[in-house]
């Protein structure tokens, strides 16, 4: 395994985490499709189980293909180690079940991915954990106290693409002796490395940009060695949402082009946002790369590109659905971060379970559409979106809005 922090990000994306296969010299990382590994001797088996010797013995705990994926991600996040999981939610639940105890408090900055909020509210609370929702960084500072164990954030947020100041959250956590965790799925380490802002644990749904091709489900958590040893020993071993070697292979392959893909996603999204700015059929346009976005200054500080997601508000659910039904290049589907462009109506799909009050609080309006901009030519994507907008009946009322 190689870890060369003196090399540039693009070089590490290609090379880190793996070398020639020690058994055969294979250049591409082999898919180690095996559940178990022979000890060689009864004494070695005992040493492996006692932790006196490092080695593979069962793929729920570790597997060479999965290990290469973990090492590559750790290198890209600039953190000592990582542990892979069968899904992003597998990662979220393992972190919470490992770190939280009865009496602990968790603070999260809303909105988070729906599954994460669901886990905190519906599962963590069953184990005597108190969960606090904070609207922003100032609310985090006000809620943080001696019982706070974990502060969980996501940036940019879904689906309105709000920006959370990672440095400020990390300082709030440190001040009260809590751990900070950032879900870096939307930014990826190509754009933001939360550890550089003091965040302790960095989590991903690898399903999205890390894989990048929409063909695998997985998750991963990177962080300091001691915490990750605990996560592997408890959250992975006892909960068991382990990543399979075939998926790990797909993520390894995808991550080699992560920097190139992210550059194309950002260029496409920025060009689309610029083309849509001021469009009369839109009530609102959300993209952190626009100077008018409320989080633009913080985003410019903590991101090296503004990401591949753009959200638009068409004013009503009917208008949003007409728009979606006329898109041709943006497949209507949940998920994001694929090379192909995707579109969805969060109010009636991904966020529908939130209920009316939370939808209003989190700004998930009936007319909101989320666009995951793929790596197609931006001119084709812009033509597709403008063409679909032309089918949206524009009421006189909406025309008056800026």
Ligand X SMILES: *Cc1c(COP(=O)(O)O)cnc(C)c1O
In angstroms, rounded to a whole number, what is the distance separating the alpha carbons of residues 305 and 297?
A: 12
Q: Name the residues that contact ligand X, by CB under 6 A.
A: 87-89, 113, 115-116, 154, 158, 183, 185-186, 205, 207-208, 217, 219
Helix (H, G, I), strand (E, B) or coil at 109: strand
**Closer Cβ to ligand X, 248 or 271, answer by number:** 248
Least distance from ligand X to the Cβ atom of residue 117, Å: 10
- Nearest CA-CA partner of 134 in 148, 123, 124, 115: 148
**Closer Cβ to ligand X, 176 or 217, answer by number:** 217
Structure tokens at 121: 């509210």
**Closer Cβ to ligand X, 186 or 330, answer by number:** 186
In angstroms, rounded to a whole number, what is the distance separating the alpha carbons of residues 187 and 162?
A: 12
Task: Tell the burial category of 272 from Cβ atoms under 10 Å away from its Cβ (0-12, 13-18, 19+).
Answer: buried
DSSP 36: B
In angstroms, rounded to a whole number, what is the distance separating the alpha carbons of residues 281 and 138?
A: 35
Least distance from ligand X to the Cβ atom of residue 122, Å: 15
Least distance from ligand X to the Cβ atom of residue 155, Å: 10
Instruction: List % helix, strand, coil for the chain (3-state, nearest 5).
Output: 40, 15, 45
In angstroms, rounded to a whole number, what is the distance separating the alpha carbons of residues 218 and 243?
A: 6
**Closer Cβ to ligand X, 110 or 386, answer by number:** 110
Using Cβ positions, the residue closest to ligand X within the complex turns out to be 88
Least distance from ligand X to the Cβ atom of residue 185, Å: 4
**Apex CA 70: angle with CA 373 and CA 214, to 5°?**
30
**H/E stretch holding 378:** helix 378-389
Residues whose CB falls within 8 Å of the CB of residue 195, separated by 6 or more in sequence, listed in order: 77, 78, 79, 202, 222
Least distance from ligand X to the Cβ atom of residue 90, Å: 7
Least distance from ligand X to the Cβ atom of residue 159, Å: 10
Name the residues annotated as catalytic. Answer: 60, 113, 183, 208
**Closer Cβ to ligand X, 216 or 381, answer by number:** 216
DSSP 310-335: EEEE-SSHHHHHHHHHH-SSSEE-S-
**Closer Cβ to ligand X, 118 or 167, answer by number:** 118
| Cα 267 off chain centre by | 20
**Closer Cβ to ligand X, 131 or 392, answer by number:** 131
Least distance from ligand X to the Cβ atom of residue 214, Å: 12
Kind of pairing between the strands at 179-183 and 201-205:
parallel
Helix (H, G, I), strand (E, B) or coil at 354: helix
Question: Do the beta carbons of residue 107 and residue 136 sit within 8 Å?
Answer: no
In angstroms, rounded to a whole number, what is the distance separating the alpha carbons of residues 113 and 159?
A: 9
Question: Do the beta carbons of residue 181 and residue 150 sit within 8 Å?
Answer: yes
């Amino acid at each position: 395994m190689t870890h060369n922090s003196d090399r540039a990000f693009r070089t590490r994306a290609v090379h880190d985490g793996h070398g020639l296969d020690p058994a055969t010299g294979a250049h591409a990382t082999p898919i180690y499709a095996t559940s178990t590994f022979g000890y060689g001797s009864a004494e070695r088996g005992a040493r492996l189980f006692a932790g006196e010797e490092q080695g593979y013995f069962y793929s729920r705990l570790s597997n060479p293909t999965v290990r290469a994926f973990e090492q590559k991600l750790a290198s890209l996040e600039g953190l000592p180690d990582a542990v892979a999981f069968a899904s992003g939610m597998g990662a979220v639940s393992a972190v919470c079940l490992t770190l939280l105890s009865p009496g602990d408090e968790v603070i999260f900055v809303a909105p988070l991915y729906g599954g994460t909020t669901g886990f905190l509210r519906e599962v963590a609370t069953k184990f005597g954990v108190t969960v606090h929702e904070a609207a922003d960084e100032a609310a985090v500072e006000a809620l943080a106290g001696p019982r706070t164990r974990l502060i969980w954030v996501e940036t940019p947020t879904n689906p309105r693409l709000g920006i959370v100041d990672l440095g400020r959250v990390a300082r709030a956590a440190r001040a009260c002796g809590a751990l900070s965790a950032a879900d870096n799925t939307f930014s990826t380490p190509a754009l933001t490395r939360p550890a550089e802002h003091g965040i302790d644990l960095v989590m991903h749904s690898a399903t999205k940009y890390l894989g990048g091709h929409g063909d695998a489900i997985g998750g991963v958590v990177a962080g300091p060695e001691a915490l990750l040893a605990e996560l592997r020993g408890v959250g992975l071993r006892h909960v068991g949402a382990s990543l399979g070697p075939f998926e790990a292979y797909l993520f390894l392959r995808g991550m080699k082009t992560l920097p190139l893909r992210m550059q194309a996603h950002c260029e496409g999204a920025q060009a689309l946002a610029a083309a849509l700015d001021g469009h009369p059929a839109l009530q609102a346009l959300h993209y952190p790369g626009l100077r008018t976005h409320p989080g633009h200054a913080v985003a410019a500080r903590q991101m090296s590109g503004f990401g591949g997601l753009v959200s638009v508000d068409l004013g009503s659910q009917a208008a949003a659905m007409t728009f979606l039904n006329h898109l041709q290049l943006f497949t209507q589907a949940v998920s994001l971060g694929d090379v192909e462009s995707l579109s969805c109506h969060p109010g009636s799909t991904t966020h529908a379970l939130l209920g009316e009050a939370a939808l209003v609080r989190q700004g998930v309006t009936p007319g909101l559409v989320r666009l995951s901009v793929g790596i197609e030519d931006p001119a084709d994507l812009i033509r597709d979106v403008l063409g679909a907008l032309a089918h949206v009946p524009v009421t006189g009322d909406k025309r008056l809005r800026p």
